[in-house]
Amino acid sequence: MDVERTGDIYAAHPEKEDTDQVYWREPLYTVEDEPRLSGEVSGSDDWYNIIQYGDILEAVGQRLEHHGVEPEGHVTVSPSYHKMSAKVGLGETVEPSEGDEIDLQVHVRSGHSGFHGVKYEPGAVREICTNGMKAFVGEQIYEQTHSEQFQPGLAHHAVDSMIEGVDTVERRLEDAQQRTLKNRDEALLVLHDLGVDQYLDNPTPDLLTALDEEVEDAENPSLYETYNAATFALTHLADDETPEYVLDNGFERAAELLEYGDGIPSARILGENAVQSRARTLMESEQPEDEEYWEGETESVRELMEEHEIQA
């Protein structure tokens, strides 16, 4: 039988004076003096189980204490409480190159938007510049949906995997230093191609600033340096008002520079795909100079096409 909903639908809470408009699912309110609508979810336990943010963080903290680590970090919750993100230190540090110390973390995300379950990812902070890092080792990512009851064991497994996988992280970062792109222009195209630019108010200038900060040799940028440029831009150059859960998506895009299958992606393929995609956009434009990320980009792309032996 087809059911049609007409008109506006509003949810009312007995301890709240005003109502909230909802669209097609059940309202989920916070429990506090002034309840807030934190999401619209299915009213059936078969489809949606409420997972309390506190239970998630408690499970992570308990497992860290099991490993002798005092939980330390910070938690961010959206104003409506419909999304939560946390970054908690693992008590482990890696040094992929001399003086470049990186403190490892577990990153946790959850929400009540009807789409976000619970996700645990490896993260880190570089000590020399406080750049954030995340999701760069795929086999250490764990998640569950709201269709399941909360699984504290999954949180425990995630923490175990990250602490026991420190050597894997260090090798991953060391390997990324050995894989290089053609030049800074190609690195810039790769960052645009990954979508890191969409989290910045001044995409190309900001990414160039970040590349200048992180890349030692502009004619030989490594994947590690390009990744660090992406995280530098997201950490230091993004708008201060951008919610952390939004920037988390940018960090995941940047992580594609360090994660492909069980290892590091091919710098040649990353560069070639970015150049090919950009060349197509410029060639299809009636006024390519108006589409350029920077003055002279069209010529730079043409030269990179020749190096990759890409046919126009």
Mean pLDDT of the chain: 85
3-state secondary structure 186-237: HHHHHHHHHCHHHHCCCHHHHHHHHHHHHCCCCCCCEHHHHHHHHHHHHHHH
pTM value > 0.85: no
**Which pLDDT score, from 0 to 100, does residue 205 have?**
97
Q: How far apart are CA 309 and CA 100, in angstroms?
A: 36
Among 168, 146, 135, 154, smallest CA distance to 248 is for 135
Query: Binning pLDDT at 50, 70 and 90, where does residue 98 land?
Result: confident
Q: How far apart are CA 195 and CA 39, in angstroms?
A: 28
Mean pLDDT across 68-80: 89
**pLDDT (tens digit per residue) in 262-290:** 788 999 999 999 999 999 999 998 887 78
Q: How far apart are CA 224 and CA 258, in angstroms?
A: 7
Tokens of 209: 């600033």
Tell me how many degrees the CA angle 283-186-183 measures, rounded to the nearest 5: 135
Residue 126 has pLDDT above 80, yes or no: yes
Q: How far apart are CA 203 and CA 137, in angstroms?
A: 26
Q: How far apart are CA 300 and CA 44, in angstroms?
A: 56
Q: How far apart are CA 256 and CA 274, in angstroms?
A: 13
Tokens 């990512």 appear where? 141
**pLDDT (tens digit per residue) in 255-266:** 999 988 778 899
Please state, for a pLDDT cut of 90, what percent of the chain lies above it.
55
Mean pLDDT across 238-266: 88
**pLDDT (tens digit per residue) in 182-233:** 999 999 999 999 999 999 999 999 999 999 999 999 999 999 999 999 999 9
**Which pLDDT score, from 0 to 100, does residue 34 have?**
65
